[in-house]
Amino acid sequence: MSDAAEERRASELRRLIEDANYRYYALDDPAIPDVEFDRQLRELQDLEAAHPELLTPDSPTQRVGAGPLKDFAQVAHDVPMLSLNNAFSEGEVAAFDRRVREGLGREGLELEDETEYAVEPKFDGLAITLRYERGVFVRGATRGDGATGEDVSANLRTIRAIPMRLAGDNPPAVLEVRGEVLMLRRDFDQLNQEACDKGEKTFVNPRNAAAGSLRQLDSRITAKRRLHFFSYGIGRVEGVELPATHSEIMDWLATLRMPVARQRRVVSGVSGLMAYFKALGEQRSTLPFDIDGAVYKVNRLADQERLGFVSRAPRFAIAHKYPAQEELTEVEGIDVQVGRTGALTPVARLKPVFVGGVTVTNATLHNEDEARRKDVRVGDTVIVRRAGDVIPEVVGSLPERRPMRDLATPLHEPFVMPAVCPECGAPVLRLEGESATRCTNGLACPAQRKQAILHFASRRAMDIEGLGDKLVEQLVDRGLARTPADLYALGLEQLAGLERMAQKSAENLLSAIAASRHRPLARFIFALGIRQVGEQTAKDLARHFGKLDAIQGATADTLLQVPDVGPVVAASIAAFFRESHNQAVIEALRRVQAWVDGEAQAVPPGRFAGKTFVLTGTLPNLTRDQAKARIEAEGGKVAGSVSGKTDYVVAGAEPGSKLVKAEQLNIEILDETAFLYLFDKGEPPR
Ligand code: JCF
């Protein structure tokens, strides 16, 4: 190749690689296979090695990190990096809106004059600023104290979501982009898993992992951590005419290939803000990243300017926070509970603490390894996390606050797993390669028996109303029920002797038990509590085999033919049915006709039976398969094209002609939020 040809090729490769980075990291929509990407990167590295003059600072080869720095240089921010004031309630949001309206001289005006707000998730990461000159990334810095931050450019270059060159032919002379560096949950989980496998220290949450990674003096380490970036605004700008609103600035940034949150919207007034807060909160646990609230900004820049700032925060913006998902509290004791499968779970008993919207008094330590790794001891101050509906867990302890006997000796010993089951005294066993320690007593252990019966009776299994843990406890302790089958032999006289069991409630319980007969096969399979078999697998099995006999007789090989059943699940199912105690229980349940065979009954008609949905475009969070599964799980149908028979069109980003057709036919169109609302409430939002 001639020099000119090589230069052209290098520039082409840089463009191809950055295109791929953009598709992969900013759009989450890879365009080329990984091997092709690697090949292009290697070709560019080779070219640059042979012709060092071709190496540019914005080359994607520079994303692998450079050698260690002694420390970070200080950067004075051209435009200060402020913080946001917080609101924790609707009242505080309303007060914010009132101040905005007063500030703009619009108090007392009518509904149509409600303030327009640009809204977006509040990312739980680290604020940074990126400086581009003539479209090329030149420097990036942390927020620091708002006036001066640290130059972390080398680390930021390793973040592939951050463009090294802005898209477009006419870049502004200067553009400072403000945003947040964070770690996606899946990358955090992977990082911690790897650290765990290597016996290294893990991070307590994605934010700490992101902070630790961004503050590395050796950017080669940062390069190995997958960090992500979202922009939420701008700082200094020169040489370009800005649009009139914040939302348009964000749209413009997106055209420059800046990653922006898909969840951003424009809404009106307090009711719009609150509806967004609620919808975002419902998505929160399924978002790919952690958020701690929503950010509301007056959309019109002219209005922002009129409102100005109070001390160090803008008057035109506010962060509306969700209740904290992590709190500090103290460990009062560590108990060990025995679950349905005999697994022993260490549980920290806590000084009550309000976290994630509820008061938490117990939090799981999962298993022996986790308890050991976290080294949580009685008296420790710990971080407790409760996210969404997930059971509360102890994330880690603060060793510096540990009660000590003397300078070197903690007051309490590390946790050790008991050698015998705390419920039945049988020896416990931990199998090679398993994280769980289990009681070896099987269903002879009363704790396991109780859990098995409770699971059998639970709402999503046989749905026996009124059969709660207090009752099951008594039934098992008095020998009235050893297995789920015994429930069906209970009579009034036996129940009459139980505590807190009036005649009326005994009658109700007996009729609830009777009513739980003839359940669909899928529910019954789920109710059996076969390890590795959740609701979905139970449905798959019912659909595939149609009859319990066929499942009982299936070998692990035959089971592997069921869609989504792998070797571990297949082996577990086969082992369950080989077990003679299980066979006896199933026989007894057969005699009382606890279930009906057949797949037809296995799928309940569902709320959306007879409804036809069409999916188009990319949804912000749900994959196509996930959306489809939700629709089908409730009896709905997904069709490939829009017609007069279509009930709903679910439209995401870059929808196709289906959306146009839906509009022509006047068919109800749902975005993801509305779709989720529909599935939550049974009707679309109005
Ligand atoms: O996390 C955000 N979406 C976010 C954080 C958005 C903003 O406009 C912010 C921010 C933190 C500080 N603005 C400031 C001044």
Supply the DSSP string of 95-114, one letter for each residue. Answer: HHHHHHHHHTT-TT--GGGP
Regarding the beta carbon of 569 and ligand 1, being less than 6 Å apart is answered no
Chain-wide mean pLDDT for the chain?
Answer: 90
Q: Which fold has domain 521-601?
A: DNA polymerase; domain 1 (1.10.150)
Please tell me the CATH code under which domain 612-681 is placed.
Answer: 3.40.50.10190
Q: How many CB atoms lie within 10 A of CB 232?
A: 25
Return d(Cα 359, Cα 62) in angstroms, integer.
49
pLDDT band at 648; cut points 50, 70, 90: very high
pLDDT tens per residue across span 620-634: 888 888 888 888 878
Band the pLDDT of 605: cuts 50, 70, 90.
low
Choose which residue among 85, 180, 315, 316 to substitute to test ligand 1 binding: the one with the highest number of ligand atoms within 8 A of its C-beta: 180
CA 384 vs CA 88, 130, 184, 381, 450: distances in Å: 20, 34, 21, 10, 28
Q: Please determine, for residue 601, whether its predicted confidence score (pLDDT) is greater than 50.
A: no
Query: Beta-strand (E) ranges in 97-195?
Result: 116-123, 126-133, 136-142, 148-150, 174-182
8 A C-beta contact, residue 536 and residue 625: no
Sheet (strand 136-142) strand order: 136-142, 126-133, 174-182, 228-238
Does 127 contact ligand 1 (Cβ within 6 A)? yes
| Spatial separation of the C-alpha atoms in residues 249 and 265, rounded to whole Å | 13
Q: Which CATH class is domain 442-518?
A: mainly alpha
Q: What is the pLDDT of residue 347?
A: 95
Task: For 326-401, give the CATH class.
Answer: mainly beta
* Cβ neighbours of 353 (radius 10 Å): 19
Q: Is the CB of 232 under 6 A from ligand 1?
A: yes
How far, in Å, from the CA of 429 to the mean position of ligand 1? 51
Ligand 1 atom at shortest distance from the alpha carbon of 233: 8
Give the single-character DSSP code of 390.
Answer: S
- Which one-letter DSSP state was computed for residue 347? E
- Of 82, 231, 262, 295, the residue with max ligand 1 atoms within 8 A of its CB, to mutate for a pocket test, comes to 295
651-658 contacts, C-beta under 8 A, 24 or more apart: 651/616, 651/617, 652/615, 652/616, 652/617, 652/618, 652/619, 652/620, 653/262, 653/617, 653/618, 653/619, 653/620, 654/617, 654/618, 655/616, 655/617, 656/616, 656/617, 658/614, 658/616
Cα–Cα distance, 7 to 165 (Å, whole number): 17
Strand partners, 238: 174
Atom of ligand 1 nearest to the CA of 313: 15
pLDDT over threshold 60, residue 92: yes
- Atom 12 in ligand 1: which residue has the minimum CA distance? 83
CA of 295 to the centre of ligand 1 (A): 7
What is the Cα–Cα distance from 5 to 13, expressed in whole angstroms? 12
- The tokens describing 542, both together, are 């019912």
Tokens of 60: 């994607």
* CA atoms in the 13 A half-sphere facing the CB of 534: 2
The tens digit of pLDDT for each residue in 292-333 reads 999 999 999 999 999 999 878 899 999 999 888 888 899 999
Element (DSSP H or E) covering residue 613: strand 612-616
User: Cβ contacts of residue 397 below 8 Å, gap of 6+?
Assistant: 331, 374, 375, 376, 377, 380, 381, 382, 383
**Atom 2 in ligand 1: which residue has the minimum CA distance?**
122
Q: How far is the CA of 84 from the centre of ligand 1 (A)?
A: 7
Distance of CA 79 from the midpoint of ligand 1 (Å) = 14
Q: How far apart are CA 121 and CA 290, in angstroms?
A: 9
Please indicate whether the domains covering 112-321 and 521-601 agree at the CATH topology level.
Answer: no
The CB of 234 under 6 Å from ligand 1? The reply is no
Q: pLDDT tens digits for 253-303?
A: 999 999 999 999 999 999 999 999 999 999 988 899 999 999 999 999 999
pLDDT digits (tens, 9 = 90+) for 414-473: 999 999 999 999 999 998 888 999 999 888 899 999 999 999 999 999 999 999 999 999
- Cα 562–chain centre separation: 28
Q: How much is the pLDDT for 405?
A: 92
Ligand 1 mean position, distance from CA 570 (Å): 49
Distance from chain centroid for Cα 312 = 32
pLDDT band at 204 (very low <50, low <70, confident <90, very high): confident
Structure tokens, 104: 């703009």
How many Å lie between the centroid of ligand 1 and the Cα of residue 34? 34
Question: CB of 82 closer than 6 A to ligand 1?
Answer: yes
Closest Cα to atom 1 of ligand 1: 122
Mean pLDDT throughout 7-32? 87
Q: Ligand 1 pocket test: which of 77, 84, 249 has the largest number of ligand atoms within 8 Å of its C-beta?
A: 84
Q: Is residue 109 pLDDT above 80, yes or no?
A: no
Q: Where are the beta strands (DSSP E) in 249-398?
A: 265-268, 291-298, 309-310, 313-314, 317-321, 326-338, 344-355, 358-364, 381-385, 393-397
Residues designated catalytic: 122
Output the residue whose Cα is nearest ligand 1's atom 7: 232
Query: In one letter, which amino acid is 124?
Result: D
Please state which CATH number belongs to domain 112-321. Answer: 3.30.470.30
- Domain segments of the chain: what residues? 3-64, 112-321, 326-401, 442-518, 521-601, 612-681
Q: Name the closest-CA residue to atom 8, ligand 1.
A: 232
Hey, whose CA ends up nearest to atom 4 of ligand 1? Answer: 122
Count the neighbouring beta carbons within 10 Å of the beta carbon of residue 505.
Answer: 14
Which CATH number does 3-64 carry?
1.10.287.610
Q: Ligand 1 centroid vs 180 CA: distance in angstroms? A: 8
Q: Which run of H or E residues covers position 616?
A: strand 612-616
For a substitution probing ligand 1, which of 178, 228, 234 has the most ligand atoms within 8 Å of its CB?
178
CA–centroid distance, 304 to ligand 1, in Å, is: 14
Kindly state the average pLDDT of the residues 126-152: 94
pLDDT band at 603 (very low <50, low <70, confident <90, very high): very low
State whether residue 677 is helix, strand or coil: helix
